[in-house]
Amino acid sequence: MISIVFSFYNEQEAIPALIQNIRSVMLKEPESYQLIFVNDDSTDNSVQAILQQAKMPKEEIMVVNMSRRFGVEESFMAGLEVAGGDAVILMYTDMQDPPETIHEMLAKWRQGADVVHTIRRRRMGEHPAKIVAAHFGYKWITKISDIKIPRDAGDFKLLSRRVVDYMRKFNETEPYLRGLIPWIGFKQDSVLYDLQPRKVGKSKVSLFGKKTLKVFLSGVFSFSDFPVHCILFLAVAGFLATFTAGLFVLFTNPWLHPFAGVFVFLLFLWSIVMLALGIVGVYVVNIYRNTTGRPRYIIKDIIR
């Protein structure tokens, strides 16, 4: 059986067409399938739109309702908790990730891949600013990460049963799936596709919103100690620059007030200390959140 997990929030307009598209794809595959819709506390009629869809012989539909809005990654983790398939596919409901790509993903899985990433060749219909931000964001995270994270690969992935079993063991409060899944290892493959324009509704994640920043920071701080190394580099560079500037002032402008150089030096050191506290503070916050023992999410109920 193949499980397809969807994380959604207020997508009543897109869901009927999505289910029809998924059916047309999965009916061409030999395995039975289940559709798991994780409702991140929607306020519209998304759940009713799902339940109104007629059942098919090979199909099971499940709605997992969260107790409040937890986030995309947490919703995917909740879906992995209840998914029973031999392979599990993570998707959004906006159909920007074309369902037809599932054929290639399943083919890679049958050939022995435990993880199949989807790599975006083009981002059709997206704002140029978002394309540029995504390009440099992925490039930065990939460059500084301690593991190999595929560039331009989102959450649209296929996971084998044993990868899902390992994913369930993670207890991180803010899971960065695009890093956790490559971290697990095993045989990983990828397929290329073109990100499609959103046909109905609007994106719930703004370009420079809180959710976007959260995902970016999770990618930076969860799989790299590069920011801490930056502190040491800046401290050494700052000391050398200030020392050189002090010698220059001393030998070329002896008339300059001696306290001016001291003031500049102290100001620079203050900025370095503030930067260091900010970076270390992020790691401390992550440690605190992961040691409080709170669950990552709470499932209110499950409708089968």
**What does the pLDDT read at residue 106?**
96
Going by C-alpha positions, the residue among 236, 212, 237, 217 that lies closest to residue 227 is 217
Choose which CATH entry (3.40.50.300, 3.40.50.1370, 3.10.290.10, 3.90.550.10) describes domain 2-204+296-303: 3.90.550.10
pLDDT tens for residues 71-112? 888 899 999 999 999 999 999 988 888 899 999 999 999 999
- The single-letter DSSP state of residue 250 is H
Phi, psi values for residue 11, rounded to 5°: -125, 40
Q: Indicate the SS3 state at residue 5.
A: strand
| pLDDT beneath 50: ranges in the chain | none
**What does the pLDDT read at residue 149?**
73
**What does the pLDDT read at residue 38?**
95
**What does the pLDDT read at residue 295?**
82
Residue 295 structure tokens: 């669950």
**What does the pLDDT read at residue 155?**
84
Could you tell me where the DSSP H helices lie in the chain? 15-26, 46-51, 72-82, 101-110, 128-144, 161-167, 177-184, 210-222, 226-252, 258-291
**What does the pLDDT read at residue 285?**
72
**What does the pLDDT read at residue 140?**
54
Residue 117 structure tokens: 């990433």
